[in-house]
């Protein structure tokens, strides 16, 4: 009998490790529905951390729906700079060995209808109060990035590594049609896209598209279907999804 030994797994090269860090960070930005927001409280001269709802803009930047009555919103009126921590939700094992991402920059009001629609698709319960007079949509312009992928994985990334530049006007115009097309694929196909196999236990629905992929939701669970290339034209986007 031949003695077969298992070769030790080779550690990733620096380039591979960086690519994995970027992919993990981008995924957190797309699938996160809540985050810890730190603003500066000038009255007490101390940082204030609050839990906020979050969604991703077309390029990946965070979107928020905030009340003018909230302390963090009042803080932003005095100093627009903030820091947002996004973490992996749930799962087994030590939370400190799971990827997390901290991004920082100014947060300002964003009146674009497409940004509001993106936020509400990902956070449908916010529709209960989104039309209240004191609520407005806001967007962070990312200036700083700190990514930690777990023990021994603190990678130096920049905003340019995470954001997706490009003209998304065609995707914005076709978003409703593309979402309807994804919906028409049926429960089994969507489950396979979300979970890698059709389990039949959860009903997945599309909640957003972007040039790099698709987000699916089943209740509180969120899945990301990532493309291996960016697609800004609707027909090319559909072909890319079909090939997965």
What is the DSSP annotation of 54-78? -EE-TTS-EEEEEETTSHHHHHHHH
Q: From CA 242, how far away is CA 54, in angstroms rounded?
A: 29
State yes or no: pLDDT of 241 exceeds 70: yes
SS3 content of the chain, % helix, strand, coil (to 5): 35, 30, 35
In the chain, % of residues over pLDDT 70:
92
Is residue 142 in some structural domain?
Answer: yes
- Both 157 and 216 in one domain: the answer is no
Is residue 238 in some structural domain?
Answer: yes
Q: What's the pLDDT at 135?
A: 98
Residues paired with residue 50 on neighbouring β-strands, in sequence order: 37
What is the DSSP annotation of 213-225? EEEEEETTEEEEE
- Both 198 and 136 in one domain: the answer is no
Is residue 200 in some structural domain?
Answer: yes
- Both 97 and 175 in one domain: the answer is no
**pLDDT tens, position by position, 44-77:** 999 999 999 999 999 999 999 999 999 999 999 9
Is residue 110 in some structural domain?
Answer: yes
Average pLDDT in the chain: 91
- Both 51 and 115 in one domain: the answer is yes
Assign 17 to helix, strand or coil.
helix
State yes or no: pLDDT of 2 exceeds 50: no
CA dist list (Å): 72 to 84, 100, 139, 172:
12, 22, 14, 30
State yes or no: pLDDT of 207 exceeds 90: yes
- Both 145 and 196 in one domain: the answer is no
The domain total for the chain is 2
State yes or no: pLDDT of 188 exceeds 80: yes
* Residue 10 pLDDT level (bands cut at 50, 70, 90): confident
Length of the chain: 244
- Both 204 and 145 in one domain: the answer is no
**pLDDT tens, position by position, 87-132:** 987 667 677 778 999 999 999 999 999 999 999 999 999 999 999 9
Among residues 164, 181, 207, which one ends one of the domains? 164
Residues paired with residue 51 on neighbouring β-strands, in sequence order: 36
- Both 147 and 218 in one domain: the answer is no
Residues paired with residue 108 on neighbouring β-strands, in sequence order: 139
Q: From CA 122, how far away is CA 117, in angstroms rounded?
A: 9
Domain region containing 39:
13-164
* Residue 202 pLDDT level (bands cut at 50, 70, 90): confident
Mean pLDDT of 164-181: 96
CATH of the domain at 127: 2.30.110.10
Neighbouring residues of 199: CB distance < 8 A, sequence distance ≥ 6 = 191
Task: Compute the Cα dihedral for 186, 187, 188, 193 and give only its sign.
Answer: positive
Q: What's the pLDDT at 209?
A: 97
* Residue 155 pLDDT level (bands cut at 50, 70, 90): confident
User: What count of other Cβ atoms lies within 10 Å of the Cβ of residue 244?
Assistant: 12
- Both 135 and 187 in one domain: the answer is no
Is residue 5 in some structural domain?
Answer: no
Rg from Cα positions in the chain:
19
């Amino acid at each position: 009998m031949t003695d077969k030994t298992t070769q030790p797994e080779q550690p990733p090269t620096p380039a591979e490790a960086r690519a994995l860090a970027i992919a993990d960070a981008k995924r957190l930005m797309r699938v996160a529905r809540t985050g810890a927001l730190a603003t500066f409280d000038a009255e007490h001269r101390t940082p204030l951390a609050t839990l906020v709802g979050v969604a991703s803009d077309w390029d990946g930047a965070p979107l928020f729906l905030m009340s003018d009555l909230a302390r963090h919103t009042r803080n932003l009126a005095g100093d627009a700079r903030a820091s947002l921590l996004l973490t992996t939700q749930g799962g087994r094992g030590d939370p400190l060995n799971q990827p997390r991402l901290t991004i920082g920059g100014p947060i300002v009001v964003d009146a674009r209808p497409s940004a509001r629609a993106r936020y509400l698709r990902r956070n449908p319960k916010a529709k209960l109060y989104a039309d209240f007079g004191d609520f407005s949509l806001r967007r962070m312009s990312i200036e700083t990035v700190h990514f930690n992928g777990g023990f021994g994985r603190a990678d130096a990334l920049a905003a340019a590594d995470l954001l997706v530049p490009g003209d998304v006007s065609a995707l914005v115009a076709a978003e409703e049609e593309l979402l309807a097309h994804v919906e028409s694929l049926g429960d089994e196909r969507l489950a396979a896209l979300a979970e890698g196999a059709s389990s039949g236990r959860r009903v997945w629905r599309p909640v957003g598209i972007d040039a790099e992929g698709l987000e699916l939701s089943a209740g509180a669970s969120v899945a990301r279907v990532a493309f291996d290339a960016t697609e800004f034209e609707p027909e090319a986007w559909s072909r890319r999804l079909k090939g997965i």
